[in-house]
Amino acid sequence: MWLKDRIAIVTGAGTGMGKAIALRYAKEGAHVVVAEIDAASGHQTAAEVSAHDRRGLFIQTDMAKLSDINAMVAKTVETFGQIDILVNNAGVTKSLGFFDVTEADWDWIYSTNAKGLFFCMQAVAREMAKRNQGKVINIASIAGKGFRGTSNIAYAGSKGAVIAMTRIGASQLARYNINVNAICPGATRTSLYERVMKQLTEREGITEAEAVARLDASIPLRRANTPDDIANMAAFLASDEARNITGQSFNVDGGLMWD
């Protein structure tokens, strides 16, 4: 077990990549805090973590609210006494053309994807620094590296911010023996992916099958990610096997992007 008895927080762990990461961490021996805005899916993931004979704790958290973030971190420390791993996974987007992005869209996307991610990282790192150890894994996107097929320009900008904050965070937290890395998923078959694809088909007047076929054809390995593909990388980066890796942004995308 790579993560035996570690305490991990996974944000947005009710579904998709976050849920896959939470369950993989449980299999690797970690106790997992499920920080999720949706109570039903959050409770479900926590129950599935507990089914692996690990403790799963659901804490309802809106990542756009600093008060929720701070309360979630405080509850984690109160319950477990420490935090070893943070996976900043929660994120939002929708399919929008260049001229369709509004100020409300921008604020909605950045409040969770950039602002919420930073302040969660800051609050958790403050606790990690007390013990001089920790692993932070930020879920970015190849959109943050300029992937042309991004859902919208505001989302791409927010994920570019995640990549930059990962590098600066790694530099400034290294003195506390805290590793900070990012995972940049490509197309990943989650409920969010399905919603974006539905919006795309409606906007462009094509069928969902045509949209999926177009996307898969653009991937060198000819397949989109499953959530487990992201969980595999997240497990490695949280483990001692990755103890000397920090400030990096790893693409998991079937070969869509090379940098």
Give me the active site residues, please.
155
* Helices 117-131 and 66-80, packing angle to 10 deg: 30
If one counts every other C-beta atom within 10 angstroms of the C-beta of residue 179, the result is 24
If one counts every other C-beta atom within 10 angstroms of the C-beta of residue 243, the result is 11
Rounded CA separation 251/222 (Å): 16
8-state DSSP, 93: -
Rounded CA separation 184/117 (Å): 15
Where helices occur in 1-151 by DSSP H, the ranges are 16-27, 39-50, 66-80, 103-110, 117-131
Q: Long-range CB contacts (< 8 A, 24+ apart) of 71-75?
A: 72/9, 72/33, 72/35, 73/9, 73/120, 73/123, 73/124, 73/127
Rounded CA separation 227/233 (Å): 10
